[in-house]
Amino acid sequence: MTRGPQPGAARRPATTAALGADVSAFAGRPLAEVFPAVTRTVGKGALGNGWTADEAARATLLSGAGRAEIAELYRFGDTAEKLAILKALQLEDIEQIVGEDGLALVEDAIRTNDQRLLAAALGPYATRHLPAATFRQAVLKCVFAGVPLAAVDGLPARADDELKRMMADFAAERRAAGRSVPEDLQPYLER
Amino acid sequence: MRIFDPHIHMTSRTTDDYAAMAAHGVQALVEPAFWLGQPRTSVGSFVDYFDALIGWEPFRASQFGIRHHCTIALNPKEANDPRCREVLDVLPRYLAKDGVVAVGEVGYDSMTAEEDEVFAAQLELAKRFELPVLVHTPHRDKAAGTTRTLDVVRESGLPAGRVVVDHLNEVTVKEVADSGCWMGFSIYPDTKMDPDRMVVILRQFGTERILVNSAADWGKSDPLRTHATGQAMLAAGFTEDDVDQVLWRNPVEFYGQSGRLDLTGSAAEDTFAGNSILRGARS
Ligand SMILES: [Zn+2]
């Protein structure tokens, strides 16, 4: 199975600077109180570069924060804040700040029962940092939770033999129960 | 009949309750932070609870087409435990969240000095975050507790219209009506208030500034009491519009003062005329 570049992939911002978000309205106030209130100030309109206004503003606020501060914002974040932080991990400067510590955030999101968090966790940062065993379990969890596999950045590139074996077993279990096998699993079942 | 339950503890309820509520017209609700029956002994338990109120529970509600918002506070019962006092320090983080539409439940349980202090501190937070306040009135010594509550609210300088005083009954309603605060009624099986008594109060005090809730929680309670009250109103001769005011427009108006109500996705979003108080419109 092959997958060409996504439409618009070339224009995808690689750093927070490329997002072009203005966060001057938030200056001088505690980040812990500013970060949750971002959407009420900038809205959530699409910027046309794959980001919404609030996601971009939150990422830009993170670019001025420290590693521990980002972890704490995630810890106390509501779903929208957590989604924004997980998305921001793909930006080079944010990845620089969090280093390997971003893994703890990704793993936290994978443990939840919320499809949105699960999908957001499996972005380019997870592709680059997540250990193989964790990645395989997370992908299988997507299959169970109904998260489309197209949303997983690391697929198909990181689909190793072990993951394909797990997918085949899952499909066999479904067929044995007389249940359908998700459409997007098919390409991984062809040997 | 579209219903906004302004006070219900969904954390303690099952998915069957969500399904039944949706089937009876409940499209939006507010879940106030309160105690869980089993006393908590550390700030960590509260933080996890608050996280559920802004994370897991709205997600669960959305699966039934119900919009979930919450109120955040250190409740008066647990305000008396010094181990829980640190909760006050984490409140600002949560009061900044989109899904938080009021400070609450605050107020009195046993009317101790600790409760006084925590109540006053949280009224200050309501001013700082420009949020409405949901005040619980005590089960024991209710009339005296209500009087003291109204005194403290007055002293805080908060506009009366930003405060709802809840769990009222025939004895306490008059004083709250005169204060300018909103009047909250919890329609509970056996205790507090029932639909027919509620109808009598609505006849006497009218349909403005009144919130009717089920206050359903982990005790013997019923999440469909709001619907039952609407039916009792219709049977008593109130119009559909009266019912809509009490069960939908009033809670939207009260919590809409937060500027954070988001009713998109509820079936009622198109039919709500006073759009101006919905999310974002305030700024
Ligand atoms: Zn309550």
The answer on pLDDT for A6 being more than 60 is: no
Q: What is the pLDDT of residue B272?
A: 38
> What separation in Å is there between the alpha carbon of B1 and the centre of ligand 1?
24
Q: Is B98 on the interface with A (CB under 8 A)?
A: yes
pLDDT level of residue B266 (50, 70, 90 thresholds): low
Please count the structural domains in chain B: 1
DSSP-assigned letters across all residues of chain B: --EEESS--GGGS-HHHHHHHHHTTEEEEEEE----SSPP-SHHHHHHHHHHHHTHHHHHHHTTT-EEEEEE---HHHHT-GGGTTHHHHHHHHHTSTTEEEEEEEE-SS--HHHHHHHHHHHHHHHHTT--EEEEPPSTTHHHHHHHHHHHHHHHT--GGGEEE-S--TTTHHHHHHHT-EEEEEB-SSSSB-HHHHHHHHHHH-STTEEEE----SSS--TTHHHHHHHHHHHTT--HHHHHIIIIIHHHHHHHTTS----TTSTTTTT-S-GGGSTTTT-
More confident residue, B139 or B94: B94
Best B31, B97, B125, B279 member to test A by mutation, with max A CBs in 10 Å, is B97
For B18-29, letters b (16+ CB in 10 Å) and e give bebbbebbbbbb
Chain A residues within 8 A of B277 when measuring between CB atoms: none
Model pTM?
0.90
The answer on pLDDT for B283 being more than 60 is: no
A33:B96 CB<8 A: yes
Q: Is B259 on the interface with A (CB under 8 A)?
A: yes
How large is the average pLDDT for residues A27-40? 94
The answer to whether B51 touches B33, Cβ cutoff 8 Å, is no
> What separation in Å is there between the alpha carbon of A88 and the centre of ligand 1?
38
Chain A residues within 8 A of B92 when measuring between CB atoms: 32-33
Closest CA to B40 of B90, B91, B84: B84
The answer to whether B181 touches B205, Cβ cutoff 8 Å, is no
Distance CA(B253)–CA(A189), nearest Å, equals 55
> What separation in Å is there between the alpha carbon of A31 and the centre of ligand 1?
31
Ion ligand 1 residue ranges (Cβ < 5 Å): B 34
Mean pLDDT score of chain B, rounded to an integer? Answer: 92
> What separation in Å is there between the alpha carbon of B21 and the centre of ligand 1?
18
Q: What is the pLDDT of residue B280?
A: 36
The answer on pLDDT for B140 being more than 80 is: yes
Q: What is the pLDDT of residue A12?
A: 82
Q: What is the pLDDT of residue A178?
A: 96
ipTM of predicted assembly, 2 dp: 0.85
Residues in A whose CB is inside 8 Å of some CB of B read 32-37, 39-41, 43, 76, 78-80, 113-114
Q: What is the pLDDT of residue B68?
A: 98
Q: What is the pLDDT of residue B271?
A: 39
A52: which DSSP letter?
B
B280:A32 CB<8 A: no
Q: What is the pLDDT of residue B189?
A: 82
A78:B283 CB<8 A: no
pLDDT digits (tens, 9 = 90+) for A99-140: 999 999 999 999 999 999 999 999 999 999 999 999 999 999
Q: What is the pLDDT of residue B132?
A: 98
How large is the average pLDDT for residues B19-26? 98
The answer on pLDDT for A9 being more than 90 is: no
Chain B residues within 8 A of A42 when measuring between CB atoms: none
pLDDT digits (tens, 9 = 90+) for B141-192: 999 999 999 999 999 999 999 999 999 999 999 999 999 999 999 998 877 6
pLDDT level of residue B276 (50, 70, 90 thresholds): very low
Q: Which residues is B165 bridged to in the sheet? A: B135, B183
pLDDT digits (tens, 9 = 90+) for B51-107: 999 999 999 999 999 999 999 999 999 999 999 999 999 999 999 999 999 999 999
Q: Region of B74 please: left (phi>0), alpha (psi -120 to 50) or beta.
A: beta
pLDDT level of residue A11 (50, 70, 90 thresholds): low
Chain B residues within 8 A of A80 when measuring between CB atoms: 98
B99:A76 CB<8 A: no
pLDDT digits (tens, 9 = 90+) for A145-189: 999 999 999 999 999 999 999 999 999 999 999 999 999 999 999
pLDDT level of residue A191 (50, 70, 90 thresholds): low
pLDDT level of residue B277 (50, 70, 90 thresholds): very low
Best A31, A35, A38, A40 member to test B by mutation, with max B CBs in 10 Å, is A40
Number of A/B CB contacts below 8 angstroms equals 42
The answer on pLDDT for A10 being more than 50 is: no
Q: What is the pLDDT of residue A5?
A: 46
How large is the average pLDDT for residues B225-240? 98
Q: What is the pLDDT of residue A42?
A: 95
Of B47, B54, B92, Cβ closest to residue A78: B54
The answer on pLDDT for B282 being more than 50 is: no
Q: What is the pLDDT of residue A38?
A: 97
How large is the average pLDDT for residues A41-56? 95
Q: What is the pLDDT of residue A161?
A: 96
Q: Is B60 on the interface with A (CB under 8 A)?
A: no
Q: Which domain holds residue B49?
A: 3-279
The answer on pLDDT for B281 being more than 50 is: no
Percent of chain A topping pLDDT 70 = 94
Q: Is B280 on the interface with A (CB under 8 A)?
A: yes
> What separation in Å is there between the alpha carbon of B106 and the centre of ligand 1?
10
The answer on pLDDT for A1 being more than 80 is: no
